[in-house]
Amino acid sequence: MAAANHSPSSPYSCAKDSGPVIPTTSLVTFLERVQETAFQTYERSKFDHKDFIDLSLKFDLSTTVKAFDEISKTENGSVSTKDFEEFIGKWFKSAGEDLVYVEPMDFETEPYGFLPKVENPEVRAWALEVHGLWKKLSREVSSSVHDHPELHTLLPLPVPGMIPGSRFREVYYWDSYWVIRGLLASKMHETAKAIVTNLISLLDTYGYVLNGARAYYTNRSQPPLLSAMVYEIYNRTGDVDLVKKALPALLKEYQFWNSEIHTMIIHDAENCNHSLNRYYAMWNKPRPEASAIDKRFASKFLNVNEKQKFYRELASTAESGWDFSTRWMRNPSEFTSLSTTTILPVDLNAFMLRMELDIAFFAKIVGDDAIAEDFLTASHTRKKAFNSVFWNENMGQWVDYWLNYGAEPKEPQTWEAQNQNQNVFASNFVPLWIDLFNSDTPLVEKVTRSLQSSGLLCAAGIATSLTNSGHQCRDFPNGWAPIQHMIVEGLWRSASTEARKVARDIAERWIRANYVAYKKTGTMHEKYNVEKCGEYGAGGIYRPQTGFGWSNGVVLTFLEEFGWPKDQNIDCN
């Protein structure tokens, strides 16, 4: 059952959209025009909207715009396929040319101490191939981006990094956490640190870590996992300098997430106020990377205010990393009912809790006891909020909390049981990943039982939700590597024998599914079908992607932790 107050026909009709908007560049605006023409010129199946916003200019913008105005001067503004293709070839460098391949600085074909628990030769050979994929995903920004940033939507970054793969040609924020986990299993510590250096440089420039390193991603962030990245690297390397460099940046990031737009106050039954976080993009127009599609979705809204509010929901959903899912929809069968900004998400708040614990830990390392004390206090306060706002005793899960429409950040909302979204999503189990929760054995055992009976555990891993919405990619039957990892790691860290058994079982299913799909298709995938072992996932507004940074990272991490015995077969059973 969904939360009760979800379903007026238009969720955007009440107050005016009044949130902040970060302006974009003239190049992005122009490329949106080019993308719109491509949308009208090509068949939908042959067209990826992102390819057009990733083009870089061969000549200056104003001359290129004039040339485009010339070919668009037809009666209805349409351009023939031939003229369009000639124009693209003459005036642009193709998408991806501004990120150049670079040999990772610390890659070895078989690093010393690589996955010691993987004894099965077949699995070991495959793991080495996955390890070898780091060479394919390693990129640095071309000199043209540094010298002429005005010709590119790609943003300059100081050092080489890793991209997710395929259409995702640039660095992404939360993907980087699982890429780093994989790099650590691959003993590529310097490459892992370089990724953190790049993200800190974005934070220094913009005040927050961008969704990705593109001019069109400057209006939002993504699930905040920078502190977790630093923690994992420090844990392996003991690099205190990295911690010293990261701490001021993390304090800045903490401020960003606790600024007015990202926080709401909930007043609970015991008269306590809890400040909790939400996603909220600083944008109320179509997402430039998908603007032709976003405009079509928004066409059902007749007034500008409704459109702007819907666009803000689209961008805020992209900030959540779960773009798109019925999780954010007041009416699960109506995509335009997205209401991400009026939800307090369980996983975002778990990431904030982790950030508080990590910052306290780093502050101790650098000897700043006052900061350590403040952040420990903040973590205990948030833990209380989890119990009071998100925890659902009957379900044995933490669930998202829906705000009432028109909620203003400064005004506390009174907690109501009916505002807990009781639909089952994999995110309901993400708090297990946080040590404050996974160290509580009775709690873990309750949540484990709830996970076992939730319907999410499938042949090939954990499903994202129970709803097969057909066109959403963060729903059933898709399974995503990050989700498998956080839940498995949370269960595995606990002292409960049953929870640890479940963790191993999920990890093995996931490894098998990845292996069999790899053998069939020759590649690692962005998402998998958890109903059918060995099949990759589908749905959403772009074609399924391969490569793939976080999937590689998670499978290497699982293999490092759980290994694979010599005589255990790896096929789907």
Ligand X SMILES: OC[C@H]1O[C@H](O[C@H]2O[C@H](CO)[C@@H](O)[C@H](O)[C@H]2O)[C@H](O)[C@@H](O)[C@@H]1O
Return residues touching ligand X (CB under 6 A): 50, 164, 168, 172, 174-175, 211-212, 287, 289-290, 318, 321, 323, 542
For residue 403, which of 395, 393, 414, 392 has the smallest C-alpha distance?
Answer: 414
- Give me the least distance between CB of 265 and ligand X, in Å please: 28
Question: Residue 472 and residue 336: Cα distance in Å, rounded?
Answer: 12
Q: Find the catalytic residue in 253, 313, 323, 508.
A: 323
- Residue 490, H or E segment: helix 481-493
Q: Residue 181 in contact with residue 553, Cβ under 8 Å?
A: yes
* Minimum distance, C-beta of residue 174 to ligand X, in the bound complex (Å): 6
Is 174 or 234 the residue whose CB approaches ligand X more closely?
174
DSSP E strands in 293-338: the ranges are none
Task: Give 365's contacts (C-beta < 8 A, 6+ positions apart).
Answer: 234, 240, 243
Place of tokens 């669930």: 399
Q: Can you tell me the distance from the alpha carbon of 473 to that of 452, in angstroms, rounded to the nearest whole number? A: 23
| CB of 211 or CB of 465, closer to ligand X | 211
Per the CB < 8 A criterion, the answer to whether 398 and 276 are in contact is no
Whether residue 468 contacts residue 475, with contact meaning beta carbons closer than 8 Å, is answered with: yes
The answer to whether residues 202 and 209 touch, using CB atoms and an 8 Å cutoff, is yes
Contact, 195 vs 160, CB < 8 A? Answer: no
Nearer Cβ to ligand X (322/386): 322
Residue with Cβ nearer ligand X (234 or 433): 433
Distance CA 453, CA 451 (A): 5
CB of 50 to ligand X, least distance (A): 5
Measured distance CA(193)–CA(162) in Å, rounded: 11
Q: Kindly report the three-state secondary structure assignment for every residue of 381-411.
A: HHHHHHHHHHEECCCCEECCEECCCCCCCCC
- What order of strands is seen across the sheet that includes strand 273-277? 273-277, 263-267, 413-414
Task: Pick the closer one to ligand X by CB: 115 or 554.
Answer: 554
Residue nearest to ligand X (CB): 318
Residue 155 near residue 214 (C-beta atoms within 8 A)? yes
Cα–Cα distance measured from residue 441 to residue 499, given in angstroms and rounded to the nearest whole number: 9
Give whichever of 279 and 375 is closer to ligand X, judged by the CB atom. 279
Cα–Cα separations (whole angstroms), residue 467 to 260, 320, 351? 33, 19, 25
Of 534 and 539, the one with the shorter C-beta distance to ligand X is 539
Measured CA to CA, the distance from residue 507 to residue 514 in angstroms comes to 11
Q: How far is the CB of 170 from ligand X (least distance, A)?
A: 9
Report, in Å, the least distance between residue 222 CB and ligand X. 6
Phi, psi of 101 (to 5 degrees): -65, 140
Q: Is 51 a catalytic residue?
A: no
Q: Which residue has the tokens 């069999």?
A: 516
**323 catalytically annotated:** yes
Residue 541 half-sphere exposure, CB side, CA atoms within 13 Å? 18
Shortest distance, CB of residue 480 to ligand X, whole angstroms? 8
Q: Are 254 and 191 in contact, with CB atoms under 8 Å apart?
A: no
CB of 50 or CB of 354, closer to ligand X: 50
CB of 497 to ligand X, least distance (A): 33
d(CA 119, CA 78): 60
Best CA proximity match to 141, nearest among 179, 88, 102, 99: 99
Kindly tell me which of 175 and 306 has the beta carbon lying closer to ligand X. 175
Q: Judge whether 429 and 447 are in contact, CB under 8 Å.
A: yes
User: Pick the catalytic residue: 170, 526, 535, 560?
Assistant: 526
Closest distance of CB 317 from ligand X, Å:
8
| Nearest CB to ligand X, comparing residues 98 and 319 | 319
Q: Least distance in Å: CB of 74 to ligand X?
A: 29
Instruction: Please give the Cα distance from 436 to 446 (Å, whole number).
Output: 15
What's the min distance (Å) between Cβ of 214 and ligand X?
9
Q: Which positions are annotated as active-site residues?
A: 323, 526
